[in-house]
Structure 1
Amino acid sequence: MDTRLDFKNNPVGAKGLKHLVSAGMVLLDSTIPAATRELVLLRASQINGCGFCVDMHTKDATHAGESAQRLHLVAVWREATVYTDAERAALALVEEGTRIAD
């Protein structure tokens, strides 16, 4: 698999990564439960097609106590019945913010 963006050796990539990390810190400092936060990050990673990020957030969500069933269903969360209203709102919000081109 080829690297889509080399964050280490590309100054633009490094700057972009810095902003991604800053945005992530906002979520870490919020009152959003860790499992919900990881579901949101996982969904954004799926939309963006980043295999590295999907893997990372799946592992982080598992560590936060998320079940395998809920992780498998996050791509089709609208049809799934395993998410709370608050989780659905968070997933809808991340889709709106991630699918800007749509």
Structure 2
Amino acid sequence: MDARLNIFANPLAQKVFKHVNSAGAVLGHSTLPAATQELVKIRASQINGCGFCTDMHTKDAAHAGETAQRLHLVAAWREATVFTEAERAALELTEQGTRIADAAGGVSDEAWAEAAKHYDEDQLVALVGLIAVINLYNRINVLIRQPAGDYVPGQFA
């Protein structure tokens, strides 16, 4: 299956995504733990049905040393015992921030307060930005039907 658009070759897409990628790079260099960043990207991608991003971020996480057990349990993180309280707070914020139409008022005060217990202000900024950016990429890839399965870690570095 081919994508509906080749956003990697289109000059307009390259101009737009240069800025989005820059934002992602800034967020990636924050003090938010790298493992948490990948878990957030994986969970949002699972919720949004973005095979391309799920493939990319599970492979990137594994390449960075994440365990297979934790990667297999991201979708069932509430029942899993392998995530820290901070990671669980980030995953809850990710779910609520991704499914904003599911609850009146978007993200609950409880989810925000739990995340704020574990992350400082800069890390919360990074977490919010990361959730927004991965949701953007998920939506683009789902819209254009970007195929999944062929990503190689470091491919877009």
Superposition TM-score tier, normalisation by shorter sequence? 0.7 to 0.9
CA positional deviation for 1:99: 1.1
Distance 1:47 1:5, change over 3 A: farther
CA positional deviation for 1:93: 1.3
Superposed CA deviations along residues 3-44 of structure 1, whole A, max 9, x for unmatched, are 3665244957973x4564244224212112212211111111
CA positional deviation for 1:83: 0.2
Q: Give the whole-Å Cα distance in 2 for the aligned partners of 1:19 and 1:74.
A: 29
Please list every run of 5 or more consecutive structure 2 residues that lacks an aligned counterpart in the other structure: 103-157
Larger radius of gyration: 2
Percent identical: 71
TM-score of the aligned structures, taking structure 2 as reference length? 0.55
Q: Give the whole-Å Cα distance in 2 for the aligned partners of 1:43 and 1:49.
A: 10
- 1:56-71 matches, within 5 Å, as 56-71=56-71
Q: Give the whole-Å Cα distance in 2 for the aligned partners of 1:40 and 1:98.
A: 10
Q: Residue type of the partner of 1:65?
A: G
TM-score of the aligned structures, taking structure 1 as reference length? 0.81
- 1:1-102 matches, within 5 Å, as 1=1, 3=3, 6-8=6-8, 9=10, 11=12, 15=16, 17-18=17-18, 20-102=20-102
How many positions carry a matched residue from both structures? Answer: 101
